[in-house]
Structure 1
Amino acid sequence: MHSADNKDRIVKGLARPGTRGPATNGNYKRTGSVVLVALVAVLIAWAGSILWVLTGESDVPPDEGFRAVPGPSQVREITLGCGSGGCWREMVIDVKPPQTAPSLAADMGISTEQCGPLNLWTLRKTCTGVAADHNGELRIYLKYDLLIDI
């Protein structure tokens, strides 16, 4: 019941017996291979980004990561510090009455260390907290916290 045209296609491997469409078995294999190669490439890039982060101990979040300082207190300076375990940014705030350093920290929501969500690409999160509060100034740090400690 096959036409002569369809018999030629069956012989050439373009159609399966009983159908008029092209054979798709090769298409599935090709698509599966492309998906597998893409998945392996993404996994290699992810592993590379984690290795890059682990070797970049001096990385620090940008200044924009600091929370806004409510008035009348003002930012005096932002510095970069490094020590055992990595680097951080530190914001020095001149605390003005009627605020106190502890009340200002509470107003900013950082009485205790606060960390943002985990970045799944780099496996680290941005954390901020109070470094010191004395002599009318408040020192706030901003640093990356790694999920994996090396």
Structure 2
Amino acid sequence: MVAVLCVLVVAVPLGCWAVLARTAVVGAVVGLLLAGGAGVLLAAGAGLLDLRGLFELFLWYPLAAALLVGAGLRVERRLRGVQPDAPRAPRTVLRVHAVVVTAVAPLCALVAFTAADVPPAAAVPSLPPGFTLGEQTAGCGSGDCWREMSVAGPEGMPSEEVVRRLGLPDDHCHANGWLLDRRPLCTRAEVNGGSIRLYVSLGDLIG
């Protein structure tokens, strides 16, 4: 369901502009900007890109797209001048775009912002020089999802020193997004059975 809503969020502004555009140059520039933003979001949603606050971007995109479409229409009117016989922008198209901005996008964000999901690879903290990550596993349960991986430090370095050098306090958490996505994203490192384990977890807002 979330995937369908997100596709609508990025597709509707493009479709609306395709109907509304009246000039070649402005139409192409605005269309390319909309397509570029949509392409980045769809690539991130498909797992080809790792972006922090991904679903927050899905909420902001239609708002930015609406401003861009409005600016494009204004520029086109100035370029075309007063032309009584020129076709007016279909109000139905603008209403569809408004519905996406005011209803569909927030619904998509609401569903996404309350559910736990496997943290993106970008959430794994950077390691100091000489440290390497081992095999990773991922899963979900008990209100959160996680990535777990082994960490190896420089040869001969004690495990406790490796954990200290990672610089991760116990249960270090911060919001997953920038402004709206307040799900807790937590990282911690510990010595478990003689090996150093690094955990990155993303919780929900309900549990």
SS in structure 1 at match of 2:181: coil
Tell me the residue number matched to 1:128. Answer: 187
Distance 1:107 1:53 in 2: 32
Structure 1 unpaired stretches of 5+: 1-37
Tell me the residue number matched to 1:74. Answer: 132
Distance 1:122 1:47 in 2: 13
1:149 partner letter: I
The 1:111/1:100 distance shift into structure 2, 3 A limit, reads: farther
Post-superposition offset of 1:42: 4.0
Tell me the residue number matched to 1:90. Answer: 148
SS in structure 2 at match of 1:90: strand
Normalized per residue, which structure has more strand? 1
SS in structure 1 at match of 2:126: coil
| Aligned residue runs from structure 1 range 1-150, under 5 A | 41-42=101-102, 45-54=105-114, 56-57=115-116, 59-117=117-175, 119=177, 120-130=179-189, 132-146=190-204, 148-150=205-207
The 1:52/1:67 distance shift into structure 2, 3 A limit, reads: closer
The 1:122/1:68 distance shift into structure 2, 3 A limit, reads: closer
Contact 2:175 2:182 in 1 (8 A): no
The 1:121/1:105 distance shift into structure 2, 3 A limit, reads: same
The 1:66/1:77 distance shift into structure 2, 3 A limit, reads: same
Distance 1:80 1:136 in 2: 21
Provide the alpha-carbon RMSD of the alignment.
3.1
Q: Percent identity?
A: 27
Using structure 1 for the length normalisation, give the TM-score.
Answer: 0.56
Distance 1:117 1:83 in 2: 19
Distance 2:136 2:105 in 1: 33
Contact 1:50 1:123 in 2 (8 A): no
Distance 2:159 2:137 in 1: 19
Tell me the residue number matched to 2:3. Answer: none
